[in-house]
Amino acid sequence: MANNLEHTSATMREFTLELLKQITDNFSEEHIIGRGGYGVVYKV
């Protein structure tokens, strides 16, 4: 069986700290939807 990810491409996106603060309401606890090994996940 072939690897399904073999022929996909990834696009990297960069976000400024100012934009992240704006869309998460300065990393508000109210916007957290989960926590994991790679960090906190916020809803927008």
**What is the chain's mean pLDDT, rounded?**
86
Q: Are 42 and 31 in contact (CB under 8 A)?
A: yes
DSSP bridge partners of 34: 41
Contact 8, 20 (CB under 8 A): no
- Is 90 exceeded by the pLDDT of residue 10? no
Secondary structure E strands in 1-44:
32-36, 39-42
- Over residues 2-22, mean pLDDT: 79
